[in-house]
Chains A and B, each alone.
Chain A
Amino acid sequence: MVSMRTIYEMYAKQMLASSFRITNSLPDSEDIIQESFLCAFQKIEQLKDEGKFSSWLKQIVINNSIKFIKNKTSFEPLDEINEREVKEDNSNWYMSIPFNQIRESIMSLPDGCREIFSLYLLEGYKHKEIASALGISISNSKSQYRYALKLLKNILMKYHHE
């Protein structure tokens, strides 16, 4: 049987990154993954399929992270952003930008839209699920996402031109 320490080492980095992209606070994300791992280890007998451990753990981490930000972030509806502004992209201009630069740029996005951007693009949540979890409308979730994508592109473009 794999030890708890081994399981922790396998997933801790990934879980911390997921939580951090939502909370944007390292100490809070450390607390969240600590609480989530504890919860997972204590309820591990409830998990019928051991192969699903990572997705189950991820869900606990994301749920705890959402619970953490839910009452702290305001998701004011944004003006509708033209689909074309974010969709038209055929060049590979972003390839030359280092990943740490991209990571920092994501973290510099405003709270509400960064959270939705992370949940949708990086965690694979659907807008319907995000809207339900955060208590906002689906259209608001979509517009926050597009706004985040547009902002991120603008930030990264600057590095690209530099």
Chain B
Amino acid sequence: MNNFEKYLQDNKDKLQSDSVDEKVWLMIENEMLKSKNRRSKRFLRITFIVIFMSLLGCLIYVLQDQDEGLNEQKILAEYDLTKYNFEEKVNTKKQQLVSATVPETKFEDFQILLQQLEFMDGQFQDYIRYIEQNGYQEFIGDQILNFYKSKIELLDKIKSEIDKINYYEKIKPSYTEYVTIEI
């Protein structure tokens, strides 16, 4: 590199033009604002879609739930399965257990009974689904009646277990907290 080249290199700052047109910054600022607005709009749009989808999901869930309840009652009534008032009996038994409490240490003993109850409810839904898909058949009607009988028996069993535990708790307290049996 000769002196001339070195001179140019050392003074390259002095080879700059005097100023930059103000419009360049204004354009940059404008573009940044546009981009910020686009981001805000996108965020709002996504938020709106998420809220809308959640509401729609809730609505569908509620409607389906209602439909299922209606279908059950409709099917049971249609095939004369309501004449024994099983549903009413089950509800009465359940009501008795709603506020039932047991000492916390004994709560685990109920888990198997509660799981059994849950399993039975699942089976009942399968019977209803079967009727919806294939129409009513007598054996399903029998199964449903058996289901109610078994469910009432199970609820009775749970009730007697609770009574038994609470009786012994009175005689020999464990001094632990009481918890509700959620049915």
User: Which residues of A line the B interface, CB within 8 A?
Assistant: 4-5, 8, 12-14, 16-17, 20-21, 30, 33-34, 37-38, 41-42, 86-90, 92, 94-95, 99, 102-103, 106, 121-122, 149, 153
In Å, the complex CA distance between A99 and B3 comes to 16
The answer to whether B133 has its CB under 8 Å from any CB of chain A is: no
Q: How far is the CB of B39 from chain A (nearest CB, A)?
A: 11
In Å, the complex CA distance between A34 and B24 comes to 6
Residues 29-47 of B contacting A (Cβ, < 8 Å): 29, 31-32, 35
User: Which residues of B line the A interface, CB within 8 A?
Assistant: 2-5, 7-9, 11-17, 19-21, 23-25, 27-29, 31-32, 35
Contacts A12-B20, A34-B27 given; does A103 touch B13 at CB 8 Å: no
Q: How far is the CB of B34 from chain A (nearest CB, A)?
A: 10
Are the CB atoms of B28 and A34 closer together than 8 Å?
Answer: yes
Are the CB atoms of A38 and B4 closer together than 8 Å?
Answer: no
Contacts A38-B32, A103-B15 given; does A89 touch B2 at CB 8 Å: yes
Are the CB atoms of A8 and B17 closer together than 8 Å?
Answer: no
Q: Which residue of B lies closest to A30 (CB)?
A: B24
Are the CB atoms of B32 and A30 closer together than 8 Å?
Answer: no
Q: Which of B2, B4, B7, B9 has the most CB of A within 10 A?
A: B4
Chain B residues within an 8 Å CB radius of A21: 15
Are the CB atoms of B25 and A38 closer together than 8 Å?
Answer: no
Contacts A8-B25, A33-B24, A37-B28 given; does A95 touch B7 at CB 8 Å: yes
Q: How far is the CB of A68 from chain B (nearest CB, A)?
A: 16
Contacts A86-B2, A87-B2 given; does A99 touch B11 at CB 8 Å: yes
Closest A-B pairs by Cβ, 8 of them: A17-B16, A89-B2, A99-B14, A12-B20, A103-B15, A122-B12, A30-B24, A16-B20
Q: Which residue of B lies closest to A124 (CB)?
A: B9
Are the CB atoms of B21 and A30 closer together than 8 Å?
Answer: yes
Are the CB atoms of A42 and B35 closer together than 8 Å?
Answer: yes
Q: How far is the CB of A3 from chain B (nearest CB, A)?
A: 11
Q: How far is the CB of B44 from chain A (nearest CB, A)?
A: 20
Contacts A30-B21, A42-B35 given; does A8 touch B8 at CB 8 Å: no
Query: What are 17 inter-chain pairs, A to B, with CB distance below 8 A?
Result: A4-B28, A5-B25, A12-B24, A13-B19, A14-B16, A16-B20, A17-B16, A30-B24, A34-B24, A38-B31, A42-B35, A87-B2, A94-B7, A99-B11, A121-B9, A149-B5, A153-B4
